[in-house]
């Protein structure tokens, strides 16, 4: 399994503003759903993985876009690439899961409109994004708290780096996944800043009784 790592741009900003402390803050690692694709611009905080809106102002138009006359989609934290689950529509075909292609304050387009039908506003409709794996079989939402954090100065390579102990995700009572990768986020700050993403290079499943270990984890600032 070849792992690649990408830092979020929000983490760079948060470090520059002294909003986060990689040595002292509680940092957690969470596993992402099958097919998840990280975007260093859009995935800024944990809200961008768990955006949520419930309102009577939502409708599906003739072009099968989801619209909100209350313009609440961006405030809710929804971003392109979110897997959203919708409920509360009268037309059952609209109560389904889709992937967001584009999102603006008042409009969402999805990658696949199959099953969607036009529907007027008036019902209390919920749109929930959840790109983290659900709790089950040894995995718990909100993931694993990092231990052994240490920040050092590396003059030989002209950088600073945060290191930590190995991160182990274990499966018990069944398999965990498939998962596309793991996100690190700062659980101390209110906004839950996303630090970065480890891409597993393809969806991975942790078989019952086994573990997935991330070792030699480093967050480097250069």
Asked if 50 contacts 80 with a C-beta cutoff of 8 angstroms, the reply is: no
For residue 1, what pLDDT is reported?
A: 67
Show me where the domains of the chain are located.
4-45+133-221, 51-129
Give the CA count within 13 Å in the CB-facing half-sphere of 190: 0
Contact 193, 18 (CB under 8 A): no
Q: What is the pLDDT of residues 149-201, one digit of tens each?
A: 999 999 999 999 999 999 999 999 999 999 999 999 999 999 999 999 999 99
Residue 72: how many other CB atoms lie within 10 Å: 17
pTM for this prediction: 0.93
Does domain 51-129 bear CATH number 2.40.30?
Answer: yes
pLDDT mean over 82-104: 97
DSSP assignment letter at 112: -
* CA-wise closest residue to 43 among 183, 162, 143: 183
Task: Tell me the per-residue pLDDT of 51-84, one tens digit each, with 9 for 90 and over.
Answer: 999 999 999 999 999 999 999 999 999 999 999 9
Q: What Cα–Cα distance (Å) separates residue 123 from each residue in 38, 57, 110?
A: 33, 8, 21
Q: Is the pLDDT of residue 222 over 90?
A: no
Q: Which residues pair with 214 in a beta bridge?
A: 167
| Spatial separation of the C-alpha atoms in residues 110 and 96, rounded to whole Å | 12
Residue 2 has what pLDDT? 80
């Amino acid at each position: 399994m070849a792992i690649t790592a990408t830092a979020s741009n929000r983490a760079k900003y948060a470090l520059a503003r002294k909003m986060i402390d990689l040595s002292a803050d509680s940092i957690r690692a969470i596993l992402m759903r099958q097919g998840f694709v990280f975007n260093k611009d859009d995935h800024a905080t944990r809200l961008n993985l768990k955006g949520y809106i419930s309102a009577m102002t939502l409708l599906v138009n003739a072009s099968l876009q989801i619209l909100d006359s209350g313009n609440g989609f961006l405030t809710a934290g929804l971003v392109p690439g979110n897997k959203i689950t919708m409920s509360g529509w009268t037309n059952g075909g609209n109560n389904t899961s889709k992937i967001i292609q584009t999102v603006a304050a008042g409009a969402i387009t999805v990658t696949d409109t199959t099953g969607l039908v036009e529907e007027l506003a008036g019902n209390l409709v919920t749109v929930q994004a959840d790109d983290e794996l659900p709790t089950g079989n040894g995995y718990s939402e909100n993931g694993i708290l990092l231990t052994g954090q240490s920040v050092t100065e590396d003059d030989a390579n002209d950088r600073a780096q945060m290191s930590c102990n190995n991160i182990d995700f274990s499966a018990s009572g069944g398999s965990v996944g498939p998962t596309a990768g793991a996100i690190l986020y700062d659980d101390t700050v209110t906004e839950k800043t996303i630090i970065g993403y480890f891409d597993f290079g393809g969806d991975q499943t942790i078989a019952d009784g086994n573990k997935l270990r991330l070792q030699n984890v480093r967050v480097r600032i250069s």
